[in-house]
Amino acid sequence: MKVQSFKNLSGYINKSEDFLFKNEVSNNLFWEVLEELKKKTTSTHWAANVMHAGNIKLSVIRTPSNYLMLSRGDKLACNHLLNYLKKKNSDIFGVAGPALLSLSFYRDWMKSISGQSQPEKNFLIFKSTSKTLRLKDIGDHGFTLKIVGDREWPRARLWALQFARESSPELCGTELVASAKKMMRARSLFFLHKKDSGSLGMAGFARQTRNYKVINLVYVPAEHRNRGVGKNLVLQLLNQAKTEENKRCLLFSDYSGDKNLYLEMGFRLESQYSERAFVSNFIS
């Protein structure tokens, strides 16, 4: 095996994109990272593929937060990458990727450095399938999607902050508001609206790849929960993605309790994802 590294994003994308698309769901965050890196003023970035017999076995990219993002791939290739980076004395802050690969990488990396173990952040990636509920299966119940614009922004901003505070662990409110505003500007942030009741929930599309649109910021205020609002909101978005662009949808969720809404709706759990920092007091 050998590591083929890139300092130019276009070269990396040309070489790696077909491999990443083979597991488009599990690797979906790669396209988000690539979009962020393209905005960086520097023209050099680090990414790599682990190759064997001319084929890519694992792809990896250094994120803007100096984490290593792993694709779905081969365990032996992951071990080869680990040894390569240790020899290079790489100063990465942490690792993210499919749970089994990233956890294995983390444990082996921590053997060579001093520092306290850090709590991991875990989430699940769900995808819609032909068995997922459709809007016609339950009816719209008078709900409609309303595009969030400048007039609706104050409420959307408030709900984004509430979403951040109610997440476990708590998310960064500033980042969630920025994400919501980006979606609003792309006309892809929506309220679920009902006549005589007003706006009852919020969600939108964060990004899209070849075959999928990512549903993000699914939020229903406490006073409107347990009334089918969240389910109808997601189904409205599924219907729009299918009708307008013939795409299926992905959802990222950190909910680990019983009665997962997305499983109940017929989404398929496609991937378990994990992110861990190496040490709390790391200084590059």
Give tens-digit pLDDT for 165-217: 998 778 899 999 999 999 999 999 999 999 889 999 999 999 999 999 999 99
Same domain for 100 and 162, yes or no, is: no
Same domain for 190 and 256, yes or no, is: yes
CATH number of residue 236's parent domain: 3.40.630.30
Same domain for 158 and 235, yes or no, is: yes
Mean pLDDT (the chain) is 91
247 domain residue, yes or no: yes
Same domain for 256 and 155, yes or no, is: yes
23 domain residue, yes or no: yes
Same domain for 36 and 136, yes or no, is: no
> Contact 229/241 with Cβ under 8 angstroms?
no
Percentage above 70 pLDDT, the chain: 95
Residue with tokens 């790489």: 90
> What pTM does this model have?
0.88
Rounded to whole angstroms, the Cα distance separating 79 from 101 reads 9
How many CB atoms lie under 10 A from the CB of residue 199? Answer: 18
pLDDT at 165: 94
Q: Point out the domain boundary residue: 122, 152, 173.
A: 122
Residues in the chain: 284
Same domain for 118 and 14, yes or no, is: yes
Q: Averaged over 235-256, what is the pLDDT?
A: 92
Domain that holds residue 51: 2-122
Q: How far is CA 137 from CA 132, 211, 220, 245, in A?
A: 10, 23, 21, 21
Same domain for 113 and 233, yes or no, is: no
280 domain residue, yes or no: no
- Least confident range from 68-77, 117-126, 134-143, 161-170: namely 117-126
Supply φ then ψ for residue 170, to 5 degrees.
-60, 135
Same domain for 21 and 67, yes or no, is: yes
Residues 6+ apart with CB under 8 A from 243: none
Same domain for 204 and 88, yes or no, is: no
CATH number of residue 44's parent domain: 3.40.630
pLDDT digits (tens, 9 = 90+) for 14-31: 999 999 999 999 999 999
283 domain residue, yes or no: no
275 domain residue, yes or no: no
Q: Point out the domain boundary residue: 95, 122, 149.
A: 122
DSSP, res 224? G
64 preceded by cis ω (within 30°)? no
279 domain residue, yes or no: no
Q: Point out the domain boundary residue: 89, 122, 155.
A: 122
pLDDT at 114: 61
Residue 284 has pLDDT above 70, yes or no: no
144 domain residue, yes or no: yes
174 domain residue, yes or no: yes
Residue 281 has pLDDT above 50, yes or no: no
Residue 115 has pLDDT above 60, yes or no: no
Same domain for 207 and 111, yes or no, is: no
pLDDT at 117: 59
Q: Averaged over 50-56, what is the pLDDT?
A: 96
Residue 282 has pLDDT above 50, yes or no: no
> Contact 254/167 with Cβ under 8 angstroms?
yes
Q: Provide the pLDDT confidence category of residue 118 given band limits of 50, 70 and 90.
A: low
Number of domains observed in the structure of the chain:
2
Same domain for 197 and 113, yes or no, is: no
Q: Averaged over 149-162, what is the pLDDT?
A: 97
> Contact 215/204 with Cβ under 8 angstroms?
yes
Residue 13 has pLDDT above 50, yes or no: yes
Same domain for 135 and 259, yes or no, is: yes
> Contact 160/179 with Cβ under 8 angstroms?
yes
